[in-house]
A and B are shown apart, each in its own frame.
Chain A
Amino acid sequence: MTAAIELQQLTKRFKERSAVDHLDLTVEQGEIFGFVGPNGAGKTTTLRMIACLLAPTSGEIKVMGHSASHDPDAVRSAIGYMPDFFGVYNDLSVEEYLDFFGACYKLPPAERARLANDLLELVELSHRRTDPVERLSRGMQQRLSLARTLVHDPQVLLLDEPASGLDPRARVEIRELMRELARMGKTIFFSTHILADVAEICTRVGILEAGQLVALGELEALQQQLLPRRQVDLTVLATPENTLALLNAYMGVVQAQPVEENGAANGGVGSGRTRLRLEFSGDDAALAGLLAHLVHNGVAVMHFSEDRRDLEEVFLRATRGQVT
């Protein structure tokens, strides 16, 4: 199967500054690939080059087997590009907006009308179809923007910061849409600077810094690789001393300590709850064994979970704060 996106030694230099530096990357069809990196890492530059908006200084881009330099129109047909901004035409309605971009992809009018219906249904904007585009909320505009990228039924979606500037609900909606699209067989390549966005939906992650890929792989694997110690949050109905003794006796527990919190937030004095945080080195089986160990020793465990916030840790460890 041809790769959805293939970048070979892709380089973009703005004067002396290398925005993208000899980037090699292959994204297979059907993947949801999270392209992560701090601001200024070269994510947008890479996306713009794949979308045939920017000429690479050197290197080769292939989308679904088509070369971006030799057959840009084939690449344009294969991709749907959603930039990190929303281009509005003030005097067009929602459905006219989609119709216009459909026409730009040379779709026949009858098909455009049908598509506009389906797409508005998909992004749940059918009820706003005759409203001027400018009157939509930010989240709705983002969804319309996504619908626009789908007008010509591309196999590959390039989404630049699809969740930026959205409220939590809109974020979830966009994420659901991305999942839905992946189920429809589309390859999704999206950039973000927030790893938490990536965690839930990505098959693979690439971390970019200063135009270079510093980490690549499944998020779990990256976590293991970059963070030998895992953080676990624990809430028990027991005294801290007891629990700590048990924990410290278990192999793999590097450090455990109670979390200092306001009494009120902790359920009030006398609730008997103890919150603990521990650093743990070991695989999944060992971690599950720890829970069994606690329960076996009569500790009432209310909450036991690996802290997802340590994703930020992954990010910080992978990147060294360099920005070109």
Chain B
Amino acid sequence: METTSAAPAGDSPMPGDARMPGDARMPGDARMPGDARMPGDAPLPDDLRPGLLQRLQALLLANPVAFKELRGRMRGRRAYILITVYTAVLSLAMLLVYFVTNSSSTPNNYNSIQMVGKALFGAVFWLQLLVMCFVAPALAAGAIASERERQTYELLRTTLLSARALVLGKFASGMLFLLLLLLVGLPLQSMAYLFGGVTLEELLVGTLLLIVTAAAFLAVGIFFSSLSGRTLISTVLSYGVSLLLVFGLPMLLFLLLLLQQNLISGTGLSNMNVFQETMLLLLMWSGMSINPLATAVGSEVILLQESSLWSMSISLSSAGSISMPSPWIPYTILYTLLSLFLLWLAVRRVSRLDK
């Protein structure tokens, strides 16, 4: 089961694959209504890498919790409505951004049209980040707590189902649903390409950030869910942490910037030694790398100004220069570690026998 957590994050064709287990295994089963209407469903490169997909499918099948969750989630009207509303909102936002930016752009000017493409791409990215931030905790907060509320938790604990399979199954099913939402947004993202100005690197890094963020918020939700016996409490806590990471930290960062300016105007940057300056830089960099929005902006700025995806060199006032990684790299590492750690804690909490 080790790979369950890594697998969904690593492979984008999976959301479409989410329905595969149900289809392949239970031919007589009532078809999930969400299935047929799922946008972005049709052309999957199933035949390209059958080995991997089959392995993932087998993995999902082997985890009864993931299988059951997916089955329940895609059943009935709920998922269908959610995805419809989600695509409708994304489309409307794109339309709005298009009208605003297009009216201010000069026709037949290549750069100006590229700006429209960039704006559209950026808008969809922000919205998807927001959706991850709001949907992930909602999906995850009930993961364990709702089992307790429904009194099925004890039933599961009397079976041979391991705590790890339970936690990872919840995580995998949530992750697959979020990946489905990202996948559904892909056709809209591709519209930005019509205008140009968006590079493949931007799209890949942007998608990576979204996936890593989704995984982390899910892990936060599952962690709180394993602690609390009440869905309401774990929901509030997970939203609290998610909102803090997305909105609270930028404010802190802003305060930090103000502080730094005071510092500079007070003592003068030149008065700082190399050590102080490096520490300040590291502090700023970590501040940026723990917030998804700041990370995205920072990475974009480095990509545009330095035309580098990986790093930028910053010249220090005292001596020489220092090479800093593009923030999406530390962000990815940090959030992946955070997710793994929280999931590990959740597994430990679940496997604990009641005292």
A residues near B, CB below 8 A? 48, 51-55, 73, 76-77, 79, 81, 83, 85-93, 96, 100-101, 103-106, 109, 130, 148, 152
Contact = CB atoms under 8 A, between A and B. Distances in A.
Given A77-B160, A104-B156, A91 B25 contact: no
B154 interface: yes
A101 B159 CA distance: 8
Given A53-B354, A87-B150, A103-B64, A148 B155 contact: yes
B151 interface: yes
A52 B68 contact: no
A152 B155 CA distance: 13
B199 interface: no
Contact of B152 (A51, A89, A103, A106): A89
Nearest to A54: B354
B157 interface: yes
B177 interface: no
A44 to B, nearest CB: 11
Contact of A53 (B68, B154, B160): B154
Contact of B353 (A52, A73, A96, A152): A52
B164 interface: no
Contacts of A79: 158
B106 to A, nearest CB: 54
A81 B75 contact: no
A48 B156 CA distance: 13
A104 B160 contact: yes
B23 to A, nearest CB: 14
A52 B160 CA distance: 11
Contacts of B25: 109
Given A53-B354, A85-B151, A91 B157 contact: no
Contacts of B159: 76, 101, 104-105, 152
B52 interface: no
Interface residues of B, number: 26
A89 B150 contact: yes
B154 A87 contact: yes
A103 B67 contact: yes
Contacts of A148: 155
A15 to B, nearest CB: 11
A54 B67 CA distance: 28
Given A92-B71, A103-B64, A51 B150 contact: no
Interface in B80-129: none
Contact of B71 (A54, A73, A91): A91
Contact of B72 (A52, A76, A92, A105): A92
B151 A100 contact: no
A213 B25 CA distance: 50
B49 interface: no
A76 B160 contact: yes
A91 B64 contact: no
B10 interface: no
A96 B161 contact: no
A130 B158 contact: no
A91 B353 contact: no
Contact of B160 (A51, A83, A91, A106): A106
A76 B353 CA distance: 14
8 contacts: A48-B354, A76-B160, A87-B150, A87-B151, A88-B152, A91-B72, A103-B68, A105-B159
Nearest to A77: B160
Residue of B30, B64, B158 with most chain A CB atoms under a 10 A cut-off: B158
A269 B244 CA distance: 84
Nearest to B156: A104
B158 A52 contact: yes
A246 to B, nearest CB: 58
A104 B150 contact: no
Nearest to A75: B158
Nearest to B72: A91
Given A54-B354, A91-B75, A152-B160, 10 more contacts: A73-B160, A85-B151, A87-B152, A87-B154, A103-B67, A104-B156, A105-B160, A109-B25, A130-B30, A152-B159
A92 B353 contact: no
B353 A54 contact: yes
A100 B353 contact: no
A103 B156 CA distance: 11
Contacts of B75: 91
Contact of B68 (A73, A87, A92): A92
Contacts of B76: 91
A75 to B, nearest CB: 10
Nearest to B76: A91
A79 B68 CA distance: 23
